[in-house]
Amino acid sequence: MNTRHLAAGFAVCMIMLASPLSQASDIEKEKRWADQIIDALFDGEPVTLNADKQDFLAIYTGAADGGTANAAIVMHGIGVHPDWDQVVKPLRVGLAERGWSTLSLQMPILENGAAEEKYVPLMAEVPGRINAGLEYLKSQGATRIVIIGHSLGAAMAASYLAGSQDPAIIGFVGIGMNTSETLVELDSITSLKKITIPVFDLYGESDLAAVINSAPQRLEVITAQGNANSSQRQVDQADHFFNDMDTPLVGLVLSWMNDLP
């Protein structure tokens, strides 16, 4: 090979290595989050999982009654972490106290303030992380698994479930599910059309406008799937982050999960 071809090949390799698609998530930020979480963790235990040759943090909280069959994966919203005080921590701890082991995953993240469209390339990293979480829960004895996602985490979960056939997954809880007319990858409605397992669409009376305005369309799609265990619920006085609503949030999710066949 002549020097011109060598130079061209080297340039292509450098471009590929520099591409944001090669590692879209902000790994340094993930590591900072992980250090802070592990130092302050009170409920649950930190677990290091691996997806696409990249380690990431998860928090496993075993069911208080010692049962292992029922479990839930919890997925946070945009730019935060698996012990976030709003929605995520109340669910991962509250459900475990009531008989469902939980595994809260660190999902791919970007720098603070990154626009939603910047997250589209990160969707390629989502399946690997969820699969790693599923395998971990199964190794702990889980046979019935519900996936719970909040906000962007709900869109990520819905996108994954639109193509998943894992029989261990028995339900999906989407909290504050958004839609996007321009970003198909992040459009929950597009994904819901392909999900056949039971779906619980949960949102607040004072949620984001896009969540509230798209609720009738989400309900139409969910109903069209014909699953008797699927439902939608608007929670009075709740906002997008269910501030000061931890107890009703956990109670509603728990009740729906316990009714699953």
DSSP secondary structure letters along 148-207: EEETHHHHHHHHHHTT---TTEEEEEEES----SS-GGG-HHHHHTT--S-EEEEEEEE-
Q: In this structure, are residues 117 and 150 in contact, taking their beta carbons and an 8 Å threshold?
A: no
Report pLDDT for 68.
Answer: 95
Report the alpha-carbon distance of residue 83 to residue 42 in Å, rounded.
10
Q: Is 164 a domain residue?
A: yes
The phi and psi torsions of 86 (rounded to 5 degrees) equal -95, 125
Q: Is 44 a domain residue?
A: yes
Q: Is 83 a domain residue?
A: yes
Number of domains in the chain: 1
Element (H, E) at 104: strand 101-105
Query: Residue 241: which of 108, 89, 139, 101 has the closest Cα?
Result: 89
- pLDDT at residue 111 greater than cutoff 50: yes
Report the alpha-carbon distance of residue 191 to residue 176 in Å, rounded.
15
What percent of the chain lies above the pLDDT cut of 70?
90
Mean local confidence (pLDDT), 169-197: 90
Q: Is 207 a domain residue?
A: yes
Report pLDDT for 134.
Answer: 98
Q: Is 66 a domain residue?
A: yes
Q: Is 8 a domain residue?
A: no
Q: Is 12 a domain residue?
A: no
Q: Which CATH number does the domain housing residue 250 bear?
A: 3.40.50.1820
Mean local confidence (pLDDT), 18-38: 76
Could you tell me the pTM of the whole model? Answer: 0.89
Report the alpha-carbon distance of residue 11 to residue 80 in Å, rounded.
35
For residues 110, 112, 118 and 120, what is the CA-based torsion angle, rounded to 10 degrees? 50
Average pLDDT, the chain: 89
CA atoms within 13 A on the CB side of 207: 22
The two tokens of residue 258 are 């316990």
Q: Is 7 a domain residue?
A: no
Most confident of 3-7, 77-81, 126-130: 126-130
Write the single-letter amino acid at 209: A
Q: In this structure, are residues 69 and 142 in contact, taking their beta carbons and an 8 Å threshold?
A: yes
> Would you call 203 exposed, middle or buried from its count of C-beta atoms within 10 A (0-12, 13-18, 19+)?
buried
Banded model confidence at residue 114, pLDDT cuts 50, 70, 90 = confident
**Which residue range(s) make up the domain with 117?**
25-258
